[in-house]
Amino acid sequence: MLEARPERFVSEEWLVGCAEFLSCSFEGINPTHTVSDGENRVLYLPFPGEKVSVRYRQLEGVSGESVTIDSMTHNVDWGANEQKGTLRLNLRATQQSRLAFELPQGAALSKVTLNAQENAGVQSGTKVEVLLNPGSHQLNLTYQRSWTAAMFERVPLLSLTAAPHNVSTVVKPSLDRWLIWTGGGLWGPAVVLWAKLLFVVLICLALVRLGLLPLGNASAVMLASGLEQCR
């Protein structure tokens, strides 16, 4: 209960704010403002003897995950003898929580930054844990591991304790390797090599048909295959 002093020539100002985990209700005189400095705070300018009753109750928490990963981007650079991966996450936490990662086998952690602050994670073997305070966060994690290139390769798997949303995977192979086929989900990547090769072959065959290229069809296809590699 708020009550203004009855003395004359005394002015009072009440600014009442309610915490995010509380629900507040007010009874009495009408407030002058309900928003102050962009926040929901009620301003009263009472006359002597006027009263305001304030009631509050604590909000009940909703069951579910306390960490939400709004977006995740996994960048993988394939070098000649080393793989380097970078994980970028935009996430929100409703309470203080721990987010854990399981790095690929044989990978070493290079750097972890949380909201541009380095050394934010604790590593135990291939497991990395990051402590999150309530609010929005941007988390970056970099790792690297030695590898030997093979005919077929997979993107390193990362395990998280929270389900990510809007996941994007970017693979950058070394210059001495060509991507000729990719696999994944229905919305997986597409290889543009074959479309470009088909376009160059059609151009060369059209030039042969018009008599502008003195070659046979088989030779024109071989020429197109060589031209397609000039990138």
Per-residue pLDDT of 74-91, as tens digits, reads 999 888 788 899 999 999
Task: Give residue 91's pLDDT.
Answer: 93
Encoded tokens for 72: 């995740």
Unique residue bearing structure tokens 């926040």: 39
Residue 228 has pLDDT above 90, yes or no: no
* The predicted structure's pLDDT at residue 187: 65
Q: What is the CATH number of domain 67-172?
A: 2.60.40.1730
Model-level pTM? Answer: 0.59
Phi first, then psi, for residue 32 (nearest 5°) are -80, -45
Query: What are the DSSP calls for 111-124, one per residue?
Result: EEEETTEES-EEEE
pLDDT score for 90: 94
74 or 179, higher pLDDT? 74
Domain ranges (residues) in the chain: 2-58, 67-172, 193-228
Helices (H), the chain: 193-209, 217-228
Q: How confident is the model at residue 180 (pLDDT cuts 50, 70, 90)?
A: confident
Strand spans (E) along the chain: 2-3, 14-17, 22-28, 41-44, 51-58, 67-78, 82-93, 97-102, 108-114, 117-118, 121-124, 127-132, 135-146, 159-160, 167-172
Which tokens is 214 given? 């003195």
* Ramachandran category for residue 188: left, alpha or beta (phi over 0 → left; psi -120 to 50 → alpha): beta
**pLDDT value at 114 more than 70:** yes
Cα separation of 155 and 167, whole Å? 13
Residues 90-110 have a mean pLDDT of 88
- pLDDT, tens digit, 9 for 90 and up, residues 186-215: 666 677 778 888 888 999 999 998 888 888
Write phi, then psi, for 226 (nearest 5 degrees): -70, -40
pLDDT at 87: 92
Percent of the chain with pLDDT strictly greater than 90: 20
Give the mean model confidence (pLDDT) for residues 166-188.
Answer: 77
DSSP β-ladder status, 97-102 and 167-172: unpaired
Nearest-CA neighbor of 188 among 154, 162, 151, 163?
Answer: 154
State the Cα–Cα distance between residues 104 and 151, nearest whole angstrom.
20
Output the CA torsion sign for 133, 134, 137, 140. Answer: positive
pLDDT digits (tens, 9 = 90+) for 27-86: 999 988 888 777 888 999 998 888 999 998 887 766 667 888 999 999 998 887 888 999
pLDDT for 170 equals: 86
pLDDT tens for each residue of 116-162:
888 888 888 888 899 999 889 999 999 998 877 777 778 888 888 88
